[in-house]
A = this chain, B = another copy of it.
């Protein structure tokens, strides 16, 4: 029983196999993170006349829709190249190329993220803000995609659940953070764009956050699961989904809490439950925490879309003043509001804070630079998580 094939032959044979499987062998390095943390982008295209880089690391005038661009230069071989003018701060960044005006991801970079309807290329400088976005040699939690049944909606729906390192064997009960996405987002947004697992792994390993379960539901009641993960198949994602801010999600939310508490080892008191969300998720967190005033001990409103919609038609959003008064009779241990100075929701958050101030309700306010972007939300999560369950 002898088979005379050597490692070299195997590698050759598997390269042939790779062709069968539609592989592509590109030798172009892009993005290249330089030693000084500047970044060089490369793109091979002899026939293109102009190639630009756009990215969330480029200076953007909040009044201008299109961010500043990097214009790439072409060499004689048709290879385009362009670099950032300066080093970049440790962070996770998104970018795309515009090739003669046509947007494309970077073909040399296999790492992408989908933010609602748009796929972008991504890269990481250092290990992100405070090193929290990197995967270090620390104990790692698990991330589970699990389905629960909504009796009210009569449909199975998908959740992402982070359980901290040691959960499987510790026998302990854990507090739970419910972490909500923004409009057009889904149950994958916080783990993929938000680096939630890395942030929690690293904070817990450093002793800066308590071990906790983080539940990331899908806030679009018309969508059982993220695009590509439901019966809708690989259909085009939609930014404006119906029934996202009409009170339905707030109404069905206790089903999620009940599922989590029935299926995970949780602590089941108000002081062991937190809810936070970004943008539309902040709106949801605000209303869920006020409508179930005994449920959530910690509330985080990240760049929150604080809009009562058609409150005359939607009982859940009516009587907001009275309901918040009831919530603050036995107030949350922490009511945390964060927003960036350039956020288009800055004004409405300022107004909301003035209403809380007028009533003397306690809250903690954090103001950051920049606008309605994921790097703010990752930082807000890192800050908020350190304040929980202590």
Contact = CB atoms under 8 A, between A and B. Distances in A.
Contact of A112 (B3, B112, B305): B112
Nearest to A352: B3
Contact of A17 (B229, B263, B279): B279
Given A107-B103, A135-B230, A237-B110, A245 B20 contact: no
A22 B307 contact: no
A165 to B, nearest CB: 8
A14 B65 CA distance: 13
Contact of A231 (B14, B22, B135, B240): B135
Contact of A118 (B22, B45, B237, B345): B22
A354 B47 CA distance: 53
A348 B18 contact: no
B22 A120 contact: yes
Contact of A100 (B47, B55, B111, B142): B47
A116 B348 contact: no
Interface string A54-68: 111000101001010
Contacts of A364: none
Contact of A168 (B134, B227, B263, B374): B263
B6 A310 contact: yes
Contacts of A10: 245, 305, 307, 309
Nearest to A58: B22
A103 to B, nearest CB: 5
Interface residues of A, number: 117
Interface string A4-45: 011100110111111111111110010000000000000011
Contacts of A112: 112, 119
A372 B21 contact: yes
Given A123-B234, A145-B142, A146-B142, A239 B18 contact: yes
A4 B29 CA distance: 51
Contacts of A118: 22-24, 110
Contacts of A21: 56, 115, 372-374
A225 interface: yes
A132 to B, nearest CB: 13
Contact of A18 (B107, B116, B227): B116
Interface in A303-345: 305-310, 320-321, 324, 342-345
A379 interface: no
B147 A102 contact: no
B145 A143 contact: yes
Contact of A140 (B142, B156, B239, B262): B156
A13 B310 CA distance: 16
Contact of A372 (B20, B104, B239, B351): B20
B5 A94 contact: no
23 contacts: A3-B352, A6-B309, A10-B245, A10-B307, A14-B183, A15-B239, A17-B343, A19-B65, A20-B343, A20-B344, A21-B372, A22-B67, A23-B115, A24-B103, A24-B117, A44-B102, A45-B99, A46-B101, A105-B105, A134-B231, A135-B225, A139-B156, A147-B165
Interface of A: 1-3, 5-7, 10-11, 13-26, 29, 44-49, 54-56, 60, 62, 65, 67, 94, 96, 99-105, 107, 109-112, 114-120, 122-124, 127, 134-137, 139-140, 142-147, 156, 158, 165, 168-169, 183, 225, 227-231, 233-234, 236-237, 239-240, 245, 262-263, 279-280, 305-310, 320-321, 324, 342-345, 348, 351-352, 355, 371-374
